Every structure is written in C-alpha cells, then in structure tokens.
Homo-oligomer: A and B are copies of this chain.
Amino acid sequence: ARTGDPEVVLGQGKRPEQVVTLLRTLHREHPDRAVLATRLAPEALDLVARELPQATVDDVARAAMLGPLPSPRGLVLVVAAGTSDAPVAAEAALSVAAHGAGVRRVDDVGVAGLHRLLAVRDELAAADALVVVAGMEGALPSVVGGLVGVPLVAVPSSIGYGASLGGVSALLGMLNSCAPGIGVVNIDNGYGAGVLAARIARQSAPRGTRAAPGAQP
C-alpha cells in the first residue's frame, strides 16, 4: 500500500487458490514486510497452510500472514466483551502486529460483569490505544471510555440474534456512546480497527516523556 503499510488481501469472495497466489505474489514483491490475508474460509486457511508452510495461519482470526513482522512500537490493548467475540479480537490483534505495534489481549470483560472490567482498569489506562470489541448491545466501549482517556477504537461484532440485526444494534450503540473520543469501524472489522490502533500506538511518545494533559509548557 502507498501508505507504507503491509499489503492486505480481503479473502472473502476469493477462491482458495486466488488467496494463495495473491499472498505468494505480494510476498515476492515485498519480501521485507508482512503480507496479510483476512476473512478466509476454512478451505482457504487449509490451502494456505499446505502451500505456504512459512505462513502463520490463525484459525480463530480466520487470517494468514507471510513475511517478517515489523518491530513493535507502542502498545495496543485488544479488549473483548464475550468469548464469542474472539475471532474479531484475534483479527484485530494480528492486524496490530502486522502494522507495527505491540499488542495484548483482555477477554471476557462484558458490561454485565463489571468487577472483571474494573480489575483491569490500570492496564487499560497504560495502553497507547485500545481496540474494544463487543456484540449484542455494544455497550463496552462506553463503559471503558468513561474509565480511561486513551484513544479508543470500537468494533461492533455480529454476535447476537433477533433485534441485534447482524451487528447493527451494537454498531448504533457505539456510535451513540455517551463517552466521547470513540472511533467506530464496520461490524466485525477487526482489521480496520487494528490498523488505526497500530498507527496511533506506533507514533505515540513513550509514556514517561509525555506532558500531563493541560500542563503549561
């Protein structure tokens, strides 16, 4: 990509052989960078594993990666509300790593069990950027955004049924968050969230060197 980031193949709607060919070609053109493929069907994941043994294949994230990872700068925390949100969180984490930032996961801290979330508050506050994944009512970003002032990227997941409308309810919840400073990406788009969070984290000054907000120079 022109922006200096890794090339990414959107696997959805592509045949397994197309995915393998694209990964191989892009890797040859950019041997010094990671090449990523997302939204891969099980058959594509299998074929990549067989044909490109040097690739990292992440079955949960439904994604594959080829080539060297950039050295990480800054830290992104990927926070997920429920266990069903794992695929989206994994795609986000992989994308963060491929785009040059460090990454840690915090799982199963949904808003109906606040104690688990409150227990990790300091960890949240210490990150350079947060990716927060939640389905159903999508309330987790509001609660996290009320706890810490770290740049936050919210990802609605399609987990739910009936009036969850395939993730639209979670999306609307996040867009209407009463906590400000939350950027929202498309439903299940862990990739897009990971890119934005990595860009923020890797350009961040180390914590110790930052002035306090509002401090006079």
Report A144 CB to chain B, min CB distance, Å: 10
Interface residues in A1-34 by Cβ distance below 8 A to B read 1-5, 8, 10, 12-14, 32-33
Q: Evaluate contact between B147 and A2: CB separation under 8 angstroms.
A: yes
Interface residue? A53 (CB, 8 A): no
Interface residue? A48 (CB, 8 A): no
Query: Which of the listed residues A39, A161, A199 has the most CB atoms from chain B within 10 Å of its own CB?
Result: A161
Interface residue? A163 (CB, 8 A): yes
Partner of A161 from B115, B150, B187, B209 at Cβ < 8 Å:
B187
Proximity bits, A159-193, B CB within 8 Å = 1, else 0? 11111111111111111111111111111110111
Q: Evaluate contact between A163 and B171: CB separation under 8 angstroms.
A: yes
Interface size class of A (residues with CB under 8 A): 35 or more
Interface residue? A119 (CB, 8 A): no
Interface residue? A195 (CB, 8 A): yes
Interface residue? A56 (CB, 8 A): no
Interface residue? A196 (CB, 8 A): yes
CB-CB under 8 A for A176 and B160, given A71-B216, A142-B111: yes
Proximity bits, A130-163, B CB within 8 Å = 1, else 0? 0000001111001101111111110010111111
Q: Evaluate contact between B205 and A203: CB separation under 8 angstroms.
A: yes
Taking CB atoms, residues of chain B closer than 8 Å to A12 are 161
Q: Evaluate contact between A4 and B149: CB separation under 8 angstroms.
A: yes
User: Using a CB–CB distance below 8 Å, which chain A residues touch chain B?
Assistant: 1-5, 8, 10, 12-14, 32-33, 39, 70-71, 73, 81-82, 84, 99-100, 110-115, 118, 128, 136-139, 142-143, 145-153, 156, 158-189, 191-193, 195-196, 199-200, 202-206, 209-217
Can you report 10 residue pairs joining A to B where beta carbons are below 8 Å apart? A2-B115, A5-B149, A71-B215, A100-B214, A136-B177, A138-B173, A150-B199, A151-B196, A169-B173, A180-B195
